[in-house]
Amino acid sequence: MKKEYCRLCFLAGVETSDNNEVDVDLKISYKPQYISVKNAKVKQLNLKNEIIEKFSVMALMEKNIDELSGGELQKVAIVDCISKDADIYLLDEPSAYLDVEERLNLAKFLRSFAGENEKGIFVVDQDILFIDYISDALIVFEREKDIVKRHASSVLSVRDGMNKFLKSVGITFRRES
């Protein structure tokens, strides 16, 4: 898990701070990078029908969770996360195991879901095109050379964040609006 990059686990209450306190007065739904596999049927999860339909998960409802492919498991985990009533949704690597079309559908859904429901969604992902499409703002995490220490930028516009990221990886292309 990318503990050195961000503390989604801490925000979600999965981990605690050094003094074992989590002081968050928000309802948070969390989809981890590494998904726990249960010996249960998908239909036993409390999934919302309108979200099931958006992700084509209906055909998976009778399957056992531990028999799902990586992409199927990812979609079920995303639907499970978004089906929960929360103020903030934290999704760690939601595009993993999804094909290009599924990534685009997910990105479109997350943007519309956040806007229509006035919800905050924090996404950590390695697919910069996916991040570019879904983001209103970025925080760029950078590593010091030959040191484990990481630094987080302030909240940046997508253009400024992408330019900062591209510069940090030695790419001279600059994105203009």
Domain positions in the chain are: 8-135
Could you give the dihedral angle defined by the CA atoms of residues 130, 171, 152 and 97, in that order, rounded to the nearest 10 degrees? 30
Query: Looking at residue 175, what is its pLDDT?
Result: 55
The confidence band for 16, taking pLDDT boundaries of 50, 70 and 90, is low
pTM: 0.80
Q: How far is CA 38 from CA 33, 74, 81, 140, in A?
A: 16, 13, 15, 34
For 113-132, write each residue's pLDDT tens digit. Answer: 999 999 999 999 989 899 99
- The class (CATH top level) of 8-135 is alpha beta
Of all residues in the chain, the percent with pLDDT exceeding 70 is 81
Query: Looking at residue 125, what is its pLDDT?
Result: 92
Q: How far is CA 128 from CA 39, 78, 105, 144, 163, in A?
A: 34, 19, 16, 21, 12
